[in-house]
Structure 1
Amino acid sequence: MSLTLAEARARAAAVSDVHYALALDLTDPSQGTYGLRCQVTFQCSEETTFLEVTDAVGLEVDADPGVGWSYDGKRLHLSGVDRCRHPEHQPGDVCPRRVVVTARMPYVTDGDGMHTFTDPADGETYVAAYLGMDVAQKVFPCFDQNDLKALVDLEVTADPAWTVLANGRVHHQHDGHWEFATTLPIPTAMFVVCAGPWHSRTWEHAGLPFGWHARASLADELDRDFDELRSTTERCFDHYASLFDEPMPFDSYDQAFVPGQNWGALETPGCVTYRDEYLPRGRLTDRLRAARASTIAHEMAHMWFGDLVTMTWWEDTWLQESFADYMGVRVAGDAVGHHDLLVAFETARKVNAYRADARRSTHPVAPEAEDVPDVDAAATNFDMISYAKGGSSLRQLVTWLGDETFLAGVNAYLSQHRFGNTRLTDFVAALDAVSDRDAVGWADAWLRTTGFDTVRVEREADGTPVLHRDGSRPHRFWVASYDDALSPAGGHLVDLGDEPVRLPELRGRIVLPNARSQTYAQVALDDLSLAAFADRLPRLDDPLARAVVWGQWFEAVRTRRLASHDYLDLVARHLPVEPHPMIVGSVATRTLGSVLPERVAAADVGDAVASLSAAFARGLAAAGDDELRLVFVEGLASTSRDAALLESWLDADGVDGLEWYAGLRWRVVTRLAAIGAADAAYVEGERRRDGTVDGEIGAARALAARPTAQAKADAWAAATDAGVSNRRFEALTGGLWQPEQAALVAPYVARYLAEAPALAERGQAFAQAVGRAFPAVPLDADQLADVRAAVPAVTNTILRRDWEDALDDRG
């Protein structure tokens, strides 16, 4: 049972002035549990309340006289907490209550709690608390909701050889005992502690201590990238200081690459944690460098949007994630110089937002609180609507209001609500106060509605383009125009509402609305423009405009307006001569991950893969830039059936002198396994050669990809083992489902439907992993019918949402 909105509102009305004094004993992870002592002080105006603490072992409570308690394995129910027995207080006075809990808490391997990981490279162990919604209670007793922010005192006892990181500065450290400065008021979901033999690089900037940390076995990689990581951090930090009136709220800024993190990163104040896949062995691609900078900027934005000012309840997830998504792209471009991030955003995240918005599970960017009745329901809203659609909406808001006005409203909002909790109305009121435009009406139109508008281009008899809006939102965007050779021929900033907009000055020209990705809307082009882009897209010099066109093709094949074979023909003709690596990578990912399993019949997948492989090969032969060559190699590594070619790459540990990264080598091994050219002994040899967690995970995926019944049986057994880690589960299921093996894995489609509901009960994050493991192969009509029949019986909110989404994607 997750916390309900009604319970949260009642508890927030009764409880105040919360302070945690927490002592953790992390000295022996091999026990499977860690020790804690947590003193909670608070005021309460009601006779009863409860703390959450999940699966505590040997729980004992020492409370103020008159306070009663009972524990049900998830909630610590308290009674008598409104009674004041202080001799100098009057009856009815509300005074602090004290509850001290001692217990042992379980470590986890699924990234949802106090995660433990032993590095196969050197045998070193790391433990880290990864929190988020409904997870703090798996680490310590707390009022686990955003609007009961609290001060936190933390002491940690750990191996004296370890380093311990947390939300605040280290106040005292000696012989394995660490004491940290009391935090400012933070939500429980933003608590963090990371302990282990970290390799650390630290410095000071703007009067604050900064640090980057990674596992000891990644010391060389951290040292390799440290100058860039430091520069990116400082540039983002200084840029935010120029944008926001409120200074950085917290007393330190550590950042750690950690094992087992479920999110890409988590914005815990004072110590941000990142998936350590952001610190790869081998070549660091320019695409990963840009994505990492955007993530750094995204998480830093959360120091203000989420940590300084926090949503009250989960209907306003967008107040944090939409802002961070928008600011991550903006600041990584303006401050760090990754100006092409909008190209990746347009062809990846924004496309996923359109997909999400077309499903039955669509929801407003800012739904009503009552539409998010509990935390499990809220977990499903951490999706591309709250992130990418919300970020796109904010980009449109800036275009519509003007940047100066937008920032004035943002700064008023942050200053008025510092260390508080807010709702949509608070933000809109701040904007409305500084603008002469109707910010309230804009928010109602953009944030309280579902779906997306379509900007439709029609032609009058003389060739004049006319823009029509199918939808209800106001849009401001740039319309680009081109001559017959697709050379730029001017453009206009257009406001489009209820009335069509004629563009007589663009008569006869090819046009592309929203060419600068300023709004969130699909584009239905006229026949002249459609034919021109389909025929000669590579002549279009602007990569962002090409990205917008590719995005429309993705949407067309999703909605079946464009047949899969016609889409694949566009890929075969245009991708080999596409010069932008981000576009090539996005097209490859979208085609392999969505188009093949969702729009191509099983009997035709082999030919489709062969066509893609040939396109990647042509692109590799023509590419002169190393980054472009590498992205075509990635495509070939996922599609080629030329075992000799793939093995030659492994023998050379690269392609014609092109350095690659560890994950790409494992992609090649997995492909060899999938086409039957690498047996278990071969994969084991590669695992031993690697010797790291990359090798363990890569080998699991490769073994699962082999085209034999026994390999599939072994993979399924390992994936459904009760103790399987989150990363290993993802690798096993990722290898199991090969689009070219639809017939071979057919029995596991049925087993997945039967067994996934029980697997999903392990927790929110693992339920999401189970949902993402939906069979990534073409399903026939009978299999889809089986999915439809299975959905009504699924009681897990997260899994049911994922299955319904999968059905909608294949509809």
Structure 2
Amino acid sequence: MSLTLAEARVRAAAVSQVAYDIALDLTDPRGDTFACRTVVTFTAHAPSTFLELTAAQDLRVVVDGVAVADPAYDGRRLHLTGLGGSHRVEVEARLPYLSDGDGMHRMTDPADGEVYLGAYCGMDIAQKVFCCFDQNDLKAPITLAVRAEPGVTVLANGLATTTAAEQRDGRWAFTTTPPIPTALFVVAAGRFAAHRFEHAGMPFGWYARASLGEALARDAEELQRITLACYEHYADLFTEPYPFDSYDQVFVPGLNWGAQEMPGCVTYRDELLPLGAMSSADRLLRAEIIAHEMSHMWFGDLVTMTWWEDTWLQESFADYMGFRVAADAAGYAGAQASFELGQKPAAYAADRRRSTHPVAARPEDVPDVDAAATIFDAISYAKGNAVLRQLVTWLGDETFLAGVNAYLTRFRFGNATLPDLVEAFAEAAPGRDVRGWVEAWLRTTGFDTIIVHRGDDVPVLRRRGTRPHRFTVTAYDTELREVGSRMVDLADDPVALVEFAGRVVVVNAYGETYAQVAHDDVSLSHLRAGLTRIDDPLVRAVLWGDLLQGPAADVLDLVRDQLPHEADASLAAAIVRRLTGPGLYRDVPPAQVEDALAVVAAACGDGIAASGDDVDRVRALLPGWAAGTRAVGALRGALDEGRVGPLDLTLTERWQLLVRLASLGELDEEAIEAERLAAPGVVADLGAARARAARPAPEAKAGAWAAAADPAVDNRRFAALMAGLWSSSRTELSAPYVARYLREAPAWAARGQAFAQVVGRAAPPQRLTPSELDLLRQQLAGDLPTVLRRQWEDWLDDLGA
């Protein structure tokens, strides 16, 4: 049962002064459960309440020194009665290890047999690791001790206090944290490779699986530089000091999110530390995530939302700060361009769906935690980021930071809501209608459109919508050389750009506002014909983001003409991701998908041929070529040589080519297994699973389905199998599994919120037949897990049905 808003409010009033003392024993030789002892102290202001603990075995409960003979436990909640005043509840239990990243995740590294454990918490997840009041506004200090296998490194929210000898023996204890939400508790244990350093009198560390030790050593200097640059920049921006006693960052297996902002110990999915060289696009993305997660130490960890309707108070701010600080502090000048092309279009897509919601929802719109899981989406992240950037443009940076700092200081180690933040901004900007701006931008859904038309060749801007906008308009000559720029405020009245008469104009050229643009025909024709001649990559990113949302035929023409000439590798990588994702499959008829992918592959191939020694550009374009080429000889040649042009293939890139060969029927089981054994590890295991599933053979599809349907399948393997299942030049072989997916996925999604997201993302990318659409509608009319329902409703909207 997911915690409801009503229950959370009642419990917040009934309980205070909570503290946890947790002891974990991770040494079970069977490897299927771990032991947990939790002592919860609290003050009760009501005669009854409940703690949460999921799937406990061998449960033992002691309340105020008295053993409870028959605890009132229903598998999820431990009910307590006869309360009043101070209490001490001791709970012992064994809890299951999981393979879906939703609790105490257990993984055996196929590269070396080492075992890695990670308590990945979040919404309704901490209760799968220890007994707790699992809600944000009952923040509490946490004291932790861990018993692990000798020689294992254990990381947690606090600084380790045991001696080196005790740690070698597997005994770990950690400093008591300041008050934090249970959702941000973390433990990571394994034989980690490590890079440690100190700064400002505090220990820092980067950690990764032992088999990724060389990759960590390769990137250690860069990771340290980014970390310290961001740390110092935040120290300058925020008046509140960094609030915890250490700062570890660890690449972990099986994480469902890109990263999680656990206080003092940030976790990252270990795909962010790949074997082999990284592209500039991937390095930029990683730097942005590092900056994003560090900003959470203030937005979310120091000050935490009270209930989940204010998810944006954490995620929108962290997303905005992540891109900003990656550019301003870490030196990644292309960060804003990366956002405009890589993330912002997803916000517009989300705002068109029935599931759209305000950036700042009302509490009653998030009635329980399952519903909360559905708003960790492109609205709370990308749209919220874009709206905050518009707020900074409107308020000015100094005023914005004054409001932020007042808010962080006022609610340090506490909880806050939207009105709390609005009050801080209103105090920082007397005379400005901050509350009106908030109502217009944060409490509404959808987006405005800025329409450009010409009167006597003078561009005139009009707004279709209700929000005030401040943005830059840049003008170009017909060769797309910049000739002028100005800031515009657009509200009810049209704005004539007299000084730009006869010029090509780009509205919202630097992406300061969140609005779609309807370009005038004169500008549009020049922009489509010469987009890549524009010097500024940020302007190009904004335009690519606009133009890639057009009709499929226009998009493919644009890609054919312009992608081979896109000089910025990060932009090229973002374009390729868009073109090889589900959107293309749904925008063109099924019979034309392979032809459309061939257009993308040809454009990428032309770009690779024109790249010379620019390895980064080749790396950005390679996935687009691999996704659609039918040049079997070229694929085999690249694999035999281990390179494409100047690019030495990484293991991940090698498997991209192998999967394509498999999908074309040019790679058999024996060859796939030989490739897997040649470089064993996670990449090879998942690549082989996808390649086997991609083979155009009935037995390959049946085998993939059976493996994905295994109740014990882990999250990464499930995703690889399903991606391979749908990947084939002969879609008739996977067609029978579409209906099976629609019928059987709800039972798979019942494993939990995070696995339900994995299941929803595994939907077939192609258009559905009328009978399949009918089945999807029937399923949506029935009883579905909340997270899967949201994803399938979005899927139906994206299909235009």
Q: Give the shorter-chain TM-score range.
A: over 0.9
Find out whether 1:705 has 2:699 as its counterpart: no
Q: 1:703 to 1:739 in 2, by over 3 A?
A: closer
Letter matched to residue 132 of structure 1: G
Letter matched to residue 743 of structure 1: E
Checking the alignment, whether the CA contact within 8 Å between 2:288 and 2:326 is kept in structure 1 is yes
Displacement, 1:739?
Answer: 6.6
Q: Would you say how many aligned residue pairs link Structure 1 and Structure 2?
A: 792
Tell me which residue corresponds to 1:613: 601
Aligned equivalent of 2:395, options 371, 392, 401: 401
Find out whether 1:118 has 2:120 as its counterpart: no
Checking the alignment, whether the CA contact within 8 Å between 1:596 and 1:739 is kept in structure 2 is no
Report 1:161-310 matches (<5 A). Answer: 161-173=151-163, 174=166, 175-310=169-304
Structure 2 counterpart SS, 1:678: coil
Q: 1:680 to 1:547 in 2, by over 3 A?
A: same
Which of 603-612 and 386-395 deviates more? 603-612
Tell me which residue corresponds to 1:34: 34
Find out whether 1:667 has 2:656 as its counterpart: yes
Cα deviation digits, residues 414-473 of structure 1 (max 9, x gap): 00000010000000100010103111111111110001111111111x111111111111
Tell me which residue corresponds to 2:645: 656
Report 1:53-92 matches (<5 A). Answer: 53-64=53-64, 69-82=71-84
Letter matched to residue 784 of structure 1: L
Cα deviation digits, residues 339-389 of structure 1 (max 9, x gap): 111222111210111111110000000000000000000000000100000
Checking the alignment, whether the CA contact within 8 Å between 2:473 and 2:508 is kept in structure 1 is yes
Tell me which residue corresponds to 1:85: none
Displacement, 1:65?
Answer: 6.2
Checking the alignment, whether the CA contact within 8 Å between 2:663 and 2:728 is kept in structure 1 is no
Which of 300-309 and 658-667 deviates more? 658-667
2: CA distance between counterparts of 1:29 and 1:800?
Answer: 39
Q: 1:132 to 1:594 in 2, by over 3 A?
A: same
Tell me which residue corresponds to 1:366: 360
Structure 2 counterpart SS, 1:476: strand
2: CA distance between counterparts of 1:350 and 1:281?
Answer: 29
Tell me which residue corresponds to 1:132: 122
Displacement, 1:656?
Answer: 3.2
Cα deviation digits, residues 163-196 of structure 1 (max 9, x gap): 1100001111412111111110000000001111
Checking the alignment, whether the CA contact within 8 Å between 2:696 and 2:729 is kept in structure 1 is no
Tell me which residue corresponds to 1:25: 25
The sequence identity of aligned pairs, in percent, is: 57
Displacement, 1:785?
Answer: 2.6
2: CA distance between counterparts of 1:795 and 1:623?
Answer: 49
Tell me which residue corresponds to 2:44: 44
Structure 1 counterpart SS, 2:549: helix
Aligned equivalent of 2:492, options 475, 498, 501: 498
2: CA distance between counterparts of 1:744 and 1:31?
Answer: 38
Structure 1 counterpart SS, 2:760: helix
Checking the alignment, whether the CA contact within 8 Å between 1:47 and 1:81 is kept in structure 2 is yes
Tell me which residue corresponds to 1:87: none
2: CA distance between counterparts of 1:479 and 1:260?
Answer: 44
Displacement, 1:671?
Answer: 0.4
Displacement, 1:303?
Answer: 0.1
Query: Structure 2 unaligned runs (5+)?
Result: none
Tell me which residue corresponds to 2:138: 148
> TM-score, normalised to structure 1's length?
0.96
Checking the alignment, whether the CA contact within 8 Å between 2:147 and 2:170 is kept in structure 1 is yes
Aligned equivalent of 1:450, options 445, 449, 464: 445
Cα deviation digits, residues 581-630 of structure 1 (max 9, x gap): 12222222212213321111111112212222211111111113211122
2: CA distance between counterparts of 1:344 and 1:38?
Answer: 44
Tell me which residue corresponds to 1:777: 766
Aligned equivalent of 2:513, options 488, 513, 519: 519
CA RMSD of aligned residues (A): 1.2
Tell me which residue corresponds to 1:725: 714
Cα deviation digits, residues 102-155 of structure 1 (max 9, x gap): 010100010000000111111110111000111000000000000000111100
2: CA distance between counterparts of 1:437 and 1:333?
Answer: 29
Aligned equivalent of 1:429, options 423, 427, 435: 423
Checking the alignment, whether the CA contact within 8 Å between 2:694 and 2:728 is kept in structure 1 is no
Letter matched to residue 714 of structure 2: S
Tell me which residue corresponds to 1:736: 725
Tell me which residue corresponds to 1:580: 568
Find out whether 1:715 has 2:709 as its counterpart: no
Which of 368-377 and 790-799 deviates more? 790-799
Which of 189-198 and 580-589 deviates more? 580-589
Find out whether 1:643 has 2:632 as its counterpart: yes
Aligned equivalent of 1:375, options 362, 369, 375: 369
Find out whether 1:761 has 2:753 as its counterpart: no
Displacement, 1:337?
Answer: 0.9
Find out whether 1:105 has 2:95 as its counterpart: yes
Query: Structure 1 unaligned runs (5+)?
Result: 83-93, 557-561
Checking the alignment, whether the CA contact within 8 Å between 2:156 and 2:188 is kept in structure 1 is yes
1: CA distance between counterparts of 2:108 and 2:29?
Answer: 10
2: CA distance between counterparts of 1:780 and 1:761?
Answer: 26
Checking the alignment, whether the CA contact within 8 Å between 1:201 and 1:213 is kept in structure 2 is yes
Cα deviation digits, residues 269-289 of structure 1 (max 9, x gap): 010000010111011111111
Checking the alignment, whether the CA contact within 8 Å between 2:4 and 2:368 is kept in structure 1 is yes
Report 1:486-565 matches (<5 A). Answer: 486-556=480-550, 562=551, 564-565=552-553
Report 1:457-468 matches (<5 A). Answer: 457-460=452-455, 462-468=456-462
2: CA distance between counterparts of 1:55 and 1:510?
Answer: 63
Displacement, 1:66?
Answer: 7.8
Which of 658-667 and 735-744 deviates more? 735-744
Find out whether 1:603 has 2:603 as its counterpart: no
Structure 1 counterpart SS, 2:474: strand
Letter matched to residue 169 of structure 1: L
Displacement, 1:633?
Answer: 2.0
Which of 748-757 and 170-179 deviates more? 170-179
Letter matched to residue 61 of structure 1: V
Structure 1 counterpart SS, 2:742: helix
Q: 1:537 to 1:700 in 2, by over 3 A?
A: same
> TM-score, normalised to structure 2's length?
0.98
Displacement, 1:29?
Answer: 5.5
Checking the alignment, whether the CA contact within 8 Å between 1:742 and 1:777 is kept in structure 2 is no
1: CA distance between counterparts of 2:418 and 2:398?
Answer: 21
